[in-house]
């Protein structure tokens, strides 16, 4: 078992435990002989940046120390699971527990064996896949050599986030719960499933589940009668304390992003529009050049941290009454580590810098935003309106006011003018300005020291006819040739290539889903692999057939069979043609590639109906030309997925 088994400590060796340095709350458990293990012999260490936190001491278990530790792991794509995990942590603190929260991608997966109580919060990516960040943990859990009692000392609970309009609703949460149980773990609270289709959104299931979780935790960690639990809706404490400091300290603080080894200085050498000038959508080919040698593989992503336009930041600071001290340096004292701060935030900064680089004023607020805002509103009518929004009867009104018209945080605060938000609460009220991840559209072996992206610039009008632009894509589109920014390189964790270059592949890439597909085909061509098929989807050959010149060259070289579904180029009144329709036309060849020659399939693009329709077309080909029953054809597709021969890199 390697490192996993080396995590099993003997709790009787207090000296050995005391020498450990860990940046988390965790239980160091005696996992050897059940009969020798007891709650009184467990030890716990909590350190943040190697500094012990007051109130948690190593020693015999008690309600106030080791017994009250709870680990919360979340896997997220857009931040929803993180928000839920932090809300669970706040309620755990109400119960006088000591929670710690981890993004699963930052959690050492081999340490999970040393945990005792874990709550997992798992979002659903694409059409039923786990978030990219969860892949290493999931890969470890699926190891065939794990014994059935591997997690016999682990108690767990799972809350999933999903959308019931998709076939595989909360699928990753269901699979995780089942796998943990198969490995001997005990579910101490029944699984919860938050549904975006509920009239209260995820909160429709989350709030009652937190009550259920709280009851379960109090059952396992009973409180003395003398200790009271604060009310469910009590105002949470701020996660930070801000203190003014000398301006000299601001200039002496290094940028944490620049110190991150995964980020590199990229120079813009191309920022070209791919779509026709008169086309409604602006899609760009953006290329970065690097002075250092960088490495990435097909399916990997470039991570871009945007900057909010200075005019928008200034206007917001004025509206909040913060303009006079917008450039005052503050030190940040992180009081509650279970409530995260934005990544790469410096220890000393200003409000202007925070709202330019780290906090999002353009996001559509979640329901939890209004719940916290209510504490800061001083006008009776505004408080009454917030109470209505937060009531079950007012859920539709909140949806109409906020989500339906895509009203932003900034716009909400401009309407609830009585709200006086203490500066210490800015990290609680405003979500982090998240970096965007873009699939790399090039092969590093064909384009050394370069990263190429295919990006759709997000711009639309709300139902109130208010123009909207995506923060990150607008930032990228504004970059001029020669501009330099920090670009992160991150493993995508989804795409891998066949070891045998003779193995055929079928790629399906509508829209900007063509980005990772281009990387795959470039890489395969350089390897001398000839048996490549591409189904590209667009609306019009003359408007948005991205990178078609590159693919046509591969056809000339004999490296590619290239089929394009142009949904708007057909005669008026005829049925539109999509990628799945071309696959149906080519059904006999599809079976020959995947059934007779063991071919691989890559699907990339929006996770709406396309991936399901593509897999249905392949399944029909398997059924018809592989002479299989409907059930056998479904099993064939499921086996391809399990074996990693059918790969989806899709997003919502």
Query: DSSP per residue over 276-331, as a string?
Result: -TTSSS-EEEEEEEESS-----TT-EEEE-----HHHHHHHHHHHT-STTTT--EE
Summarize pLDDT for 142-179 with one digit per residue, the tens.
Answer: 999 999 999 999 999 999 999 998 888 999 999 999 99
Sheet holding 51-52, edge to edge: 25-28, 43-48, 51-52
What pLDDT sits at residue 354?
98
**HSE (side-chain half, CA atoms, 13 Å) at 337:** 19
Q: What is the pLDDT of residue 167?
A: 80
Mean pLDDT value across residues 266-273: 98
Q: Is the pLDDT of residue 18 over 70?
A: no
Categorize the per-residue pLDDT at 572 as very low, low, confident or very high, splitting at 50, 70 and 90.
Answer: confident
Q: Spell 411-449 as b/e; 16+ CB within 10 A means b.
A: bbbeebeebebebbbbbbbbbbbbbbbbbbbbbbeebee
Name the token pair of 629.
């029953």
Helix (H) or strand (E) holding 27: strand 25-28
Identify the band that residue 130 occupies on the pLDDT scale cut at 50, 70 and 90: confident
Q: Is the pLDDT of residue 429 over 90?
A: yes
Query: Which domains are seen in the chain, by residue range?
Result: 3-220 (3.40.50.360), 240-244+309-429 (1.20.990.10), 263-305+435-490 (2.40.30.10), 505-651 (3.40.50.80)
pLDDT score at 557:
96
**Percentage of residues of the chain with pLDDT beyond 70:** 90
Supply the pLDDT for residue 449: 97
DSSP letters along 194-253, please?
EETTSTTTTHHHHHHHHHHHHHHHHHHSPPPTTPPPPPTTPPPPPSEEEEE--HHHHHH-
Is the per-residue pLDDT at 125 higher than 70?
yes
pLDDT in tens, 383-424: 999 999 999 999 999 999 999 999 999 999 999 999 999 999
Could you give the angle at which helices 80-94 and 203-220 cross, rounded to 10 degrees?
40
Over residues 430-438, the mean pLDDT reads 95
pLDDT digits (tens, 9 = 90+) for 296-314: 999 999 999 999 999 999 9
Rounded mean pLDDT, 452-458: 97
Tokens 């932003």 locate to: 408
Side-chain half-sphere exposure of 182, counting CA atoms within 13 A? 12
In this prediction, residue 477 carries a pLDDT of 96
Task: Inform me whether the pLDDT recorded for 7 exceeds 60.
Answer: no
- What pLDDT is recorded for position 67? 59
- Residues whose CB falls within 8 Å of the CB of residue 564, separated by 6 or more in sequence, listed in order: 535, 536, 537, 538, 541, 545, 548
Instruction: Give 417-423's long-range contacts (Cβ < 8 A, gap of 24+).
Output: 417/379, 417/382, 418/377, 418/378, 418/379, 418/382, 419/373, 419/376, 419/377, 419/378, 419/382, 420/376, 420/378, 421/320, 421/373, 421/376, 422/238, 422/376, 423/242, 423/322, 423/330, 423/351
Separation of alpha carbons 357 and 257, rounded Å = 11
Instruction: Look at residue 136 in the predicted model and tell me its pLDDT.
Output: 86
Per-chain mean pLDDT for the chain? 88
Q: What's the count of helices (H) and strands (E) in the chain, helices before strands? A: 22, 25
pLDDT at position 64, please? 47
User: Can you spell out the DSSP letters for 237-274?
Assistant: PPSEEEEE--HHHHHH---HHHH-TTEEEEEEEEEEE-
Model confidence over 638-649: pLDDT tens digits? 999 999 999 998
Residue 187's contacts (CB-CB under 8 Å, 6 or more residues apart) are 155, 156, 157, 158, 177, 180, 181
Q: What residue spans of 322-417 are helical by DSSP H? A: 351-353, 367-373, 380-390, 395-398, 409-415
What's the pLDDT at 299?
94
CA angle 555, 556, 558 (to 5 degrees): 65
Which one is predicted more confidently, 297 or 50? Answer: 297
Q: How many residues does the chain have?
A: 652
Among 131-135, 212-216, 263-267, 480-484, where is mean pLDDT lowest? 131-135
- How high is the pLDDT of residue 373? 97
Q: How confident is the model at residue 133, as a pLDDT?
A: 87
- The stretch 442-457 carries a mean pLDDT of 97
97-116: pLDDT as tens digits: 999 999 998 899 888 989 99
**pLDDT higher than 60, residue 43:** no
Comparing 46-60, 230-244, 553-567, the range with the smallest average pLDDT is 46-60
Banded pLDDT at 215 (limits 50, 70, 90): very high
Q: Flag the least confident range among 49-53, 296-300, 481-485.
A: 49-53
State CA 290 to chain mean position distance. Answer: 27
Q: Tens of pLDDT along 573-615? A: 889 999 999 999 999 999 999 999 999 999 999 877 899 999 9
pLDDT value of residue 23 = 31
């Amino acid at each position: 078992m390697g490192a996993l088994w080396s995590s099993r400590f003997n709790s009787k060796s207090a000296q050995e435990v005391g020498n450990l340095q860990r940046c988390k709350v965790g239980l160091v458990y005696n996992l050897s002989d059940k009969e020798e293990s007891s709650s009184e012999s467990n030890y716990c260490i909590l350190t943040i940046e190697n500094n012990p936190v007051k109130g948690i001491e190593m020693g015999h278990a008690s309600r106030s120390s080791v017994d009250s530790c709870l680990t919360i792991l979340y896997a997220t794509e857009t931040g929803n699971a993180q928000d839920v995990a932090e809300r669970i942590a706040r309620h755990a603190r109400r119960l006088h527990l000591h929670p710690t929260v981890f993004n699963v991608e930052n959690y050492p997966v081999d340490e999970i064996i040393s945990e005792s109580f874990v709550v997992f919060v798992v979002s659903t990516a694409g059409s039923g896949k786990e978030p990219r960040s969860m892949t290493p943990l999931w890969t470890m859990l699926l190891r065939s050599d794990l014994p059935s009692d591997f997690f016999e000392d682990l108690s767990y609970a799972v809350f999933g986030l999903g959308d019931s309009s998709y076939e595989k609703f909360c699928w990753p949460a269901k699979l995780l719960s089942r796998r943990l149980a198969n490995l001997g773990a005990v579910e101490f609270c029944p699984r919860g499933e938050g549904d975006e289709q509920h009239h209260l959104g995820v909160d429709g299931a989350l709030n009652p589940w937190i009550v259920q979780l709280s009851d379960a935790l109090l059952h396992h960690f009973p409180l003395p009668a003398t200790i009271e639990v604060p009310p469910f809706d009590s105002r949470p404490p701020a996660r930070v304390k801000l203190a003014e400091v000398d301006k000299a300290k601001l200039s002496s603080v290094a940028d944490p992003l620049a110190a991150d080894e995964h980020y590199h200085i990229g120079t813009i050498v191309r920022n070209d529009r791919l779509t026709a000038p008169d086309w409604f959508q602006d899609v760009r080919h953006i290329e970065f050049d690097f002075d250092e040698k960088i490495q990435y593989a097909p399916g990997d992503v470039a991570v871009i941290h945007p900057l909010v336009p200075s005019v928008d930041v200034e206007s917001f600071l004025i509206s909040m009454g913060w303009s006079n001290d917008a450039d005052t340096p503050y030190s940040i004292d992180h009081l509650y580590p279970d409530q995260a701060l934005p990544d790469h935030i410096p220890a000393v900064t200003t409000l202007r810098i925070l709202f330019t680089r780290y906090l999002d004023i353009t996001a559509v607020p979640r329901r939890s935003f209004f719940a916290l805002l209510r504490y800061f509103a001083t006008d009776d009518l505004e408080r009454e309106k917030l109470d209505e929004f937060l009531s079950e009867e007012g859920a539709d009104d909140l949806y109409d006011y906020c989500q339906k018209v895509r009203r932003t945080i900034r716009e909400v605060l401009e309407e609830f003018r009585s709200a006086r938000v203490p500066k210490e609460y800015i990290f609680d009220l405003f979500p982090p300005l998240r970096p965007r991840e873009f699939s790399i559209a090039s092969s590093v072996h064909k384009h050394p020291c370069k990263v190429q992206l295919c990006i759709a610039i997000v711009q639309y009008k709300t139902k109130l006819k208010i123009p909207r632009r995506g923060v990150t894509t607008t930032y990228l589109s504004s970059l001029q040739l020669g501009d330099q920014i920090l670009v992160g390189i991150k493993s995508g964790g989804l795409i891998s290539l066949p070891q045998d270059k003779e193995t055929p592949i079928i790629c399906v890439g509508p829209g900007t889903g063509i980005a990772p597909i281009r990387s795959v085909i470039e890489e395969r061509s350089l390897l001398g692999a000839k048996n490549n098929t591409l189904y590209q989807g667009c609306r019009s050959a003359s408007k948005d057939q991205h990178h078609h010149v590159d693919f046509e060259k591969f056809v000339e070289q004999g490296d590619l069979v290239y089929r394009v579904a142009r949904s708007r180029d057909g005669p008026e009144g005829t049925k539109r043609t999509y990628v799945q329709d071309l696959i149906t036309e080519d059904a006999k060849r599809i079976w020959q590639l995947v059934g007779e020659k063991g071919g691989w399939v890559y699907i990339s693009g929006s996770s709406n109906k396309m991936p399901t329709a593509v897999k249905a077309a392949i399944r029909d080909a398997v059924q018809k030309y592989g002479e299989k029953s409907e059930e056998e054809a479904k099993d064939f597709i499921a086996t391809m997925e399990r074996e990693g021969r059918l790969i989806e890199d899709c997003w919502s």
